[in-house]
Amino acid sequence: MTTETTGVTDPAGLRHELYTYSGEEQFLAGVRSFIDDALASGEIVLISVPEDRERMLREELPGTDPGVVFMDTSALGRNPARLIPAWQRWISERAGEGRPVRGIGETDWNGRGSAEIEELRYHEWLLNLAFTGSPAWWLLCPYDTGTIDPETMRAISRCHPYTMADDGPRLSPDYVKEPFSWADLEPACDPYEEFAYARGDLAAVREKVIGCAAPYGLTGDRLRETLVAVTEVAGNSIAHGGGHGTLRTWVQQGTLVCEFRDAGVMSDPMIGRMAPSPRSLRGRGMWLVHQICDLVQVRSTPETGTIIRLHITLPQP
């Protein structure tokens, strides 16, 4: 399955560079070189890396240079859709200081399931699109080839127009300007509950979700947040997806999954992934869904319609 948008044609706002390494020593060598070059050029470096990598860099970097800023992404959770608006906010804040900006962004891949890995790959593809025409900045994406399988690594390399080499950055021979190619969604976990809904059925949709979630301990504020998300998605089906849709619910590996199918098409790949303007009434619903859910999967084409899966982590037993 592919998106309708072919992605960026000229990533003028973002220099999106891949750095593949193996082991801590090679990580430090490449990232330290990138930081030193940035500071020598009078640039600010925003660093968002896993906790163990951050400790290594703090020990390696002499002193506390005001041009180096560490950013904690733990509050964003594991939903990759929250990363682009965070980078946009950080870049906007630092751009106001009048200094060029570089970033270093590495995601913790430990414990990631196949659905999360696919969304992380999509996030890398969307970065080129999200920052087209933005103020110029440079993002280095380190990837440890020892922890990521070769097939995933090849897919990620196709999302980066530049790559770090021994003699400096260069155009990547692997980068391709083409629609994003999705892996197939995993089949619904059997047994699952299915419910066809239409106008007037939003209360019934919520009851179906409560019936699936409550036996697994999802109650209180977290359940109420989940019901806000499912109401938003089901309401979009009714308003924009032909007036009706189908809900499937199941529990898989400690996660509640609510899947919505309808006949509509979502043509904007950035929907819900950009912070809505205070003056805009559009895009707020899916933005809220992404802020509530631990993972959101969207597949939408004219041939298949739209499938949206909401993942909510259940309380530990």
Q: How confident is the model at residue 30 (pLDDT cuts 50, 70, 90)?
A: very high
CATH fold for the domain made of 14-171: Rossmann fold (3.40.50)
Instruction: For 88-136, write each residue's pLDDT tens digit.
Output: 888 888 776 778 899 999 988 877 889 999 999 999 999 999 998 888 8
pLDDT at 283 (0 to 100): 62
Strands across the sheet containing 168-171: 68-70, 44-48, 101-105, 137-144, 14-21, 162-165, 168-171
Q: Which CATH superfamily is domain 193-313 in?
A: Histidine kinase-like ATPase, C-terminal domain (3.30.565.10)
Instruction: For 199-215, write each residue's pLDDT tens digit.
Output: 999 999 999 999 999 99
d(CA 189, CA 256): 11
CATH 3.40.50.300 spans which residues of the chain?
14-171
Class of residue 224 by CB neighbours under 10 A (exposed 0-12, middle 13-18, buried 19+): exposed
pLDDT at 4 over 50: no
Q: How confident is the model at residue 64 (pLDDT cuts 50, 70, 90)?
A: low
pLDDT at 315 (0 to 100): 94
d(CA 72, CA 35): 18
Instruction: For 148-176, write each residue's pLDDT tens digit.
Output: 989 999 999 999 999 998 877 899 999 99
pLDDT at 85 (0 to 100): 92
On whether the CB atoms of residues 224 and 197 are closer than 8 A, the answer is no
DSSP 140-183: EEEEETTTS-HHHHHHHHTT-SEEEETTEEEE-TT---S--BPP
Give the list of residues 6+ apart from residue 174 with CB closer than 8 angstroms, or none: 154, 157, 158, 160, 163
On whether the CB atoms of residues 89 and 30 are closer than 8 A, the answer is no
pLDDT at 25 over 80: yes
CATH 3.30.565.10 spans which residues of the chain?
193-313
